[in-house]
Chains A and B, each alone.
Chain A
Amino acid sequence: MSLGAIGAGLAVIGAGFGIGKIGSSAMESIARQPEAASKIQTAMIIAAALIEGVALFGVVVALLQG
């Protein structure tokens, strides 16, 4: 088992927490205000993309070291 694989796993844990938090908040907000669903979805995708970007930095480093 290489260190790179462990690093990739750690990056995935972080991203999972982050995107899970965004998803749960977005669901709650849409349940509260269904008429704002499309706006909330757009904001959710932007925030998820930003978190995913950071996680992918970790994955790329793991890939280069792996």
Chain B
Amino acid sequence: MVVNRILSLVFALVTLFNFSASAIVVEGEIDNGSEMSAFILHHVVDDHEWHFYGEGEKAIHLALPIILVDNGLQVFSSDRFSVVKVDTLHGHHGEASVEKYAQTEDGNYALFHGKIYKTENGVLNFDEHGHPTNTRPLDFSITKNVAVLFLATIIMILIFFNVGKAYKTRGVNSAPKGLQSFMEPLILFVRNEVAIPNIGEKKYAKFMPYLLTAFFFIWIINLLGLIPFLGGVNLTGNISFTVVLALITYFITQFSGNKDYWKHVFLPPVPVALYPIMIPVEIIGTLTKPFALMIRLFANITAGHIVVLAFIGIIFLNKSAGWSALSIPMGLFISALELLVAFLQAYIFTMLSALFIGTAVEEHDHHDDHH
């Protein structure tokens, strides 16, 4: 019974993914820099639909399932946000601004700047800063980022089950073939250049599954973000995604820390009078490392997407095709640079993870203590 229910839920979710024309909210003309910044920022954050190309009625996009917890489970397609409402707001300085938002046909929910609100009698109320005052239901929707996460997972499963099977059937000592010969140098690179130098010959094997997973996962998602007409997916440029990756590194480091590592944190080799200062500093020190990992990946990838969009945006901001002579080569150059950055960030994340794990499992020589 349970299996049947799960299957019917999965089937219901799959039918909610459907290609269609017409975007959720019609975007207006872009006349100045701040409208362009808003447009660019809208395209680097998460969304409830997966937009490929085109605008307004002609836009081709993939509608994604909306899953809300609000008097039970509410599951429907994001295409049901089809009623566009326009509201003129008066800010506290007296300036008027026009806000557009989308509503479901039954008028129960409204979508405003990527967030879903419960409407009160079919309207969205705004405060003087232009923020809606309506309540928000718990949102477990399969957004664009979640869909990309699934896509990357499927790609990794296909690659590594194929490669793993090749080693199983033909043995580890025979020459690699096909996809295997592409992956083997990369796997050896992670082992020989990242894991062994930073963790050490004796202990590296236990951490290889995590390091390989992190490396290929980040790299594949970074590359997915660079494919044109794939909606400019920006999953590694999402702070919630990078915080989870950084926390996994943090917990692996702390749980594999040996006696020397904890001694260095709680009994550092300084006079006892300095302990009240040094111990908090050491504890904060363990937290800043994953924090930097999180910010580095997030900011690098987001900045790359923003720069490419800004170069292309120059054409539309000046409303002249002549600017494309400047902005297309520059955008192409940055895109090519981003191919390098996609690899480099995956490498740096993996290498710093290995470095932090290495300091936690390192065996110290005790002859130079207490001198």
Contact B352 A49 (CB under 8 A): yes
Least CB distance, A52 to chain B, in whole angstroms: 7
Does B300 count as interface, using CB distance less than 8 angstroms?
yes
With contacts A42-B193, A42-B197 taken as known, whether A56 is within 8 angstroms of B295 at the C-beta atoms is yes
Least CB distance, B243 to chain A, in whole angstroms: 13
Complex contacts, A42 vs chain B, CB 8 Å:
193, 197, 351
CB-CB nearest in chain B for A60: B299
Does A50 count as interface, using CB distance less than 8 angstroms?
yes
Contact B355 A56 (CB under 8 A): no
Contact B197 A45 (CB under 8 A): no
Selected contact of B348 from candidates A45, A57, A66, CB within 8 Å: A45
Within A13-46, the residues touching B (CB, 8 Å) are: 42, 45-46
Residue interface bits B284-316, CB-to-A below 8 A is 1, else 0: 000000001001101110110000000000000
Selected contact of B292 from candidates A50, A59, A63, A66, CB within 8 Å: A50
Residues of chain B whose beta carbon lies under 8 Å from any beta carbon of chain A = 37, 193, 197, 292, 295-296, 298-300, 302-303, 344, 347-348, 351-352, 355
A63 to B239, CA, bound (A): 14
Contact B295 A60 (CB under 8 A): yes
CB-CB nearest in chain A for B37: A66
Selected contact of B295 from candidates A45, A46, A53, CB within 8 Å: A53
Count A-B pairs with CB separation below 8 Å. Answer: 34
Least CB distance, B72 to chain A, in whole angstroms: 37
Residues of chain A whose beta carbon lies under 8 Å from any beta carbon of chain B = 42, 45-46, 49-50, 52-53, 56-57, 59-60, 63, 66
A42 to B364, CA, bound (A): 23
Contact A56 B299 (CB under 8 A): yes
Contact B352 A56 (CB under 8 A): no
Contact A56 B300 (CB under 8 A): yes
Contact A53 B296 (CB under 8 A): yes
Least CB distance, A55 to chain B, in whole angstroms: 9
Least CB distance, A45 to chain B, in whole angstroms: 7
Complex contacts, B355 vs chain A, CB 8 Å:
46
Contact B296 A49 (CB under 8 A): yes
With contacts A46-B351, A46-B352, A59-B303 taken as known, whether A52 is within 8 angstroms of B296 at the C-beta atoms is yes
Complex contacts, B299 vs chain A, CB 8 Å:
56-57, 59-60
Least CB distance, B94 to chain A, in whole angstroms: 22
Least CB distance, B233 to chain A, in whole angstroms: 19
A50 to B296, CA, bound (A): 9
CB-CB nearest in chain A for B300: A56
A50 to B295, CA, bound (A): 11
Contact A57 B295 (CB under 8 A): yes
Least CB distance, B351 to chain A, in whole angstroms: 7
